[in-house]
Amino acid sequence: MPIKPPIDNAKLDRIVAEARRNAEQRELGYRERALKMYPWICGRCAREFTRTNLQELTVHHRNHDHDFNPPDGSNWELLCVYCHDNEHSRHIDHVRGGVMEVEDAPAATGNPFADLKAMMERGKKA
């Protein structure tokens, strides 16, 4: 039977202390502060989150400045990854001058059903 090496309690203590320090540092981050401050619900689609899917809930900066993190959380909102992605896409469109307005779009000239009756008739004959 192999002999197990003795447990290095000092090393374990260092690992646990480091893990606690890292957790405290993370808690100082805006995501952890926002998750403590707000309910775990997407601000757009109202999807609710639990610990099992919390990684899909993100913190969105309302003014799009990730360096502006007031302690009251007024620049944050919790959004699911889908709504967050949509919000950033909309912002990019806005910054680039927006997408083409519906009124400015050229009128559709093609008719996808133009030959439908003839195609149906050919199908009946076969």
Which of 53 and 24 is assigned the larger pLDDT?
53
Asked, for residue 106, whether it belongs to a domain, the answer is no
Which of 39-73 are b and which e, b meaning 16 or more Cβ less than 10 Å from the residue's Cβ? eeebbbeebebeeeeeeebbbbeeeeeeeebeeeb
What mean pLDDT, rounded, does the chain reach?
Answer: 83
Q: What is the mean pLDDT of residues 98-109?
A: 60
Q: Judge whether 39 lies within some domain.
A: yes
**Under 8 Å between Cβ of 79 and 43:** yes
pLDDT at 52: 96
pTM of the model: 0.55
Average pLDDT estimate for 42-69: 92
Q: Does residue 123 belong to any structural domain of this protein?
A: no
| Cα–chain center distance at 95 | 20
pLDDT given for residue 119 in this prediction: 80
More confident residue, 15 or 99: 15
Q: How confident is the model at residue 74 (pLDDT cuts 50, 70, 90)?
A: very high
* Whether the predicted pLDDT of 105 surpasses 70: no
Question: How many domains does the structure of the chain reveal?
Answer: 1
Q: Which domain holds residue 42?
A: 9-98
Q: Residue 110 domain-assigned?
A: no
Give domain status of residue 62, yes or no. yes
Asked, for residue 105, whether it belongs to a domain, the answer is no
Residue 50 lies in a domain: yes
pLDDT band at 45 (very low <50, low <70, confident <90, very high): very high
The reply to whether 103 falls in a domain is no
Q: pLDDT grade, residue 81 (50/70/90)?
A: very high
CATH number at residue 24: 3.40.1800
Looking at the chain, the whole-number percentage of residues with pLDDT higher than 90 is 41
